[in-house]
Chains A and B, each alone.
Chain A
Amino acid sequence: MKPHPASRDVVIAAVALIVVLAIPLFHRSPAFEDFIIRLSAMALFATSLNLPVGNTGMVSFGHGMFYGLGAYAFALMMQMTDLSLPVAAVLAVSITTLASFCVGAICVRLSTDYFAFITLAFQMLFYSVVISWQSLTGGDQGLRGGIPRREIFGFELSSQLHLYQFCSVVAVLGLLALRHVSTSPLGQTLRMIRDNEDRASFLGVVLWRARLLAFTIAGAFAGLGGVLAALFVSGAYPELADWPNSGQAIFAVMLGGINSFLGPALGAAILLALNDAVTRFTEYYGLVLGIVILAFAVGFRRGVLDFLRLAWPRSSK
């Protein structure tokens, strides 16, 4: 591998952002803009999950908990306080970070299978709290009444265009930050742990500390995704924190490819597009999705981007 200078990632991110922001100037399509808004949330959610899953080799089934927590914390703060939107968003992400640190501190010392189960257990616990604490969360109805739209820096987020711009900027910056994590020495250490944890610990790596860092960072960015999701649905619903949502993130990671940084984001896009296309024709969305996932898991044995990188190793490295 020839490491690329950090500037390369920034340039790619900037170009992608400019393209996305320019599209509405030429052509307004509410469906497309909705898609990008949902994708921003989902891409952050899936890419953050890949830090523990793909980079470190810890499969977490409870990632939806942090996505849901970010959404609820943000929506509640917007409804119950007069905080400005950025402050509420930062606080929501901080709360999620703290939560993932605490959950991680309990989970990361467990070996793979137990780790997966206990993250799932925490997720179900969180979901039960959301469902049963009706006075705060609205129970299974979710948080209704909408999120008060406050203008920030001239952005009026009740306008779809402004929400579109806001979400794309946040998502690109978030992905850039995650990219930085995965290319940092810590990112390399996580790959060492995935490959051979015994040897890594012989080299002086404190395994639980590295894993906890990865888990906490992943939770934080899932929380950021949750904030965007709350903005899109203008509230928060228990489904955001439910385990099928964690499954969606795992599907996105698998579909797109765990060994490519942008794999999970691509997987999220495919998943959303598939959802939109399939639900138009049939209500058996799960069946179609299952077949697609099986085809990737059994047939290709890797996600789209990993597959392409193997096919054209030069162009991608």
Chain B
Amino acid sequence: MKLEIRNLTKTFGGVRAIDDVSLDFPSGSLSAVIGPNGAGKSTFFNLISGAFPADTGQVLLDGDDVVRLSKTARMQRGIGRAFQVASCFPTMTVAENLTAAVTAHVGQWGNLSRRFPPPGVRERAGEVMELIGLSHVANVEAAILSHGDQKLLDIAIALALEPKVLLLDEPTAGMGPEERWRMIERVRGLWEQRKLTLIFIEHDMDIVFRIASTIRVLCYGRLLAEGTPEEIRNNQSVIDAYLGTEAHAE
């Protein structure tokens, strides 16, 4: 599914968090959004997923503008997201997390006439669990999962809703170097298998340059540059605003 952003703007009390950003994410693309802290990356995701409304601009899904729709309606149209801080249901097991998510997705959350889970739901949850590689912890409570597995569960919950466009906000945040690579390989595997339009926010430049086919750089709410890893690496304004300062800081 193709995602196009047109002139998206959001201000918070006079601060332009996202300032007239236009971007295309072709169907089946794998792109990274990078930028310094406070560049508006998470806000950008929040505007696409509908967590809060945009001031002006359009969010086009295969040409249909969804910018006025609620986050639930956008989710039903195929925009899924995982969160920077893993967001799951801590007292439930991994399997229950996913069966509950699928149950909600098929519109059965208010059902009182049968037992949980409704028929067919467990199988679909099992498929997602298999796909993301959490089957071995199916009966473990989410609260006591490792940090990495919690992030995976968060992504799995998003996948349970069968998104066409998947937004991952720092999938490798808080992970050690090895765990990061395992995580990002799984993300890449998902992208290939499910033919997703995948967009992720990431701070680790090694990962970004190795994985993403297109990179978008945000800075102070504006689009600073976009292009292939090679182009971004050699873009002087990106080096000045972001890559350079990071190298300087390290």
Residues of A within 8 A of B (CB): 1, 3, 5-6, 180-181, 183-189, 191-192, 194-196, 198-206, 209-210, 213, 259
Contacts and interface: CB of A to CB of B under 8 A. Distances in A.
A196 B113 contact: no
Given A187-B116, A195-B91, 8 more contacts: A3-B116, A184-B113, A185-B109, A188-B96, A189-B103, A196-B87, A203-B100, A204-B109
Contacts of A196: 87-90
A188 B96 CA distance: 9
9 contacts: A192-B92, A192-B109, A195-B89, A203-B100, A204-B75, A204-B105, A204-B107, A210-B109, A213-B112
B157 interface: yes
Interface of B: 49, 71-72, 75-76, 81, 83, 87-93, 95-96, 99-101, 103-105, 107-118, 139, 157, 161
Contacts of B91: 191, 194-195, 259
Contacts of B93: 1
A199 B109 contact: no
Given A198-B87, A204-B105, A188 B113 contact: no
A192 B104 contact: yes
Contacts of A185: 103, 108-112, 114, 116-118
Contacts of B101: 203
A191 to B, nearest CB: 7
B17 to A, nearest CB: 20
A181 B111 CA distance: 9
B100 A189 contact: yes
Contacts of A205: 104, 109
B100 A210 contact: no
A201 B52 CA distance: 13
A193 to B, nearest CB: 9
A6 B115 contact: yes
B158 to A, nearest CB: 9
B81 to A, nearest CB: 8
